[in-house]
Amino acid sequence: MNHTPLQETHEAVAPWYRQGWFWFIVGIPMASVCLGTTMLIVAFTHQDSLVKDEYYRDGKAINQVIARNQRAEALEIGATVTIDELTGEVALQVGGKDDLLPSVLRLSFLSPTLASQDQVIDIRQIAPGRYIGQLTQQIKGRRYVHLETIETQDSYKPSEKGWLIESQQHIEAGNRFQIGYFGS
């Protein structure tokens, strides 16, 4: 009988962190955790401004908005809005059946998609029916334009006895547009 001794082979085994299959199996869950964490961070830092937090309260207040729109229509309130493209000055010529216009009105330029582009300014009366205000930054494109009365200079609440004009406009630099009532 011929016996040959078994030869032991001592191959160097690579450590665990150099094994390809280990990284393949562990890499997929690790990538999922990293991607999920990234998506959570993006979702919380860039919240959608189209969804209103106070949708229930706003829904209950719709009757007040309708009543204020009807008061503006009954008083035949209309305004011509001019925006100076260089200085950002907003000039309004307001007219209607009501000769006693308030000394301060609120003019809002609301973006349909980005709340960060909204501008709300209080405009002051400089002559009967003539108002002036100042924009903080230039606006252009489609905007919802609201012109409304407010209680007092220090109040941020809309007047319950006042009026509101709502319009949708495409605003370009230096153009003039009309909102509200201008004859039938």
> Which pLDDT tens digit goes with each residue over 59-68?
777 888 888 8
pLDDT for 153 equals 45
Token readout for 22 is: 């280990």
- Phi, psi torsion values for 119, nearest 5 degrees: -135, 125
In this predicted structure, the answer to whether residue 89 has a pLDDT above a threshold of 70 is yes
pLDDT for 34 equals 96
What CA–CA distance (Å, rounded) separates 166 from 58?
A: 16
Would you say 171 and 109 are in contact if contact means Cβ atoms under 8 Å apart? Answer: yes
- Phi, psi torsion values for 13, nearest 5 degrees: -95, 130
Strand partners, 93: 80, 130
What CA–CA distance (Å, rounded) separates 82 from 34?
A: 51
In this predicted structure, the answer to whether residue 7 has a pLDDT above a threshold of 70 is no
Give the Å distances, CA to CA, from 100 to 69, 97, 103: 18, 9, 9
pTM of the full structure? 0.67
pLDDT in tens, 108-136: 999 988 888 899 999 999 999 899 999 99
What CA–CA distance (Å, rounded) separates 153 from 122?
A: 8
In this predicted structure, the answer to whether residue 48 has a pLDDT above a threshold of 80 is no
Token readout for 12 is: 């160097």
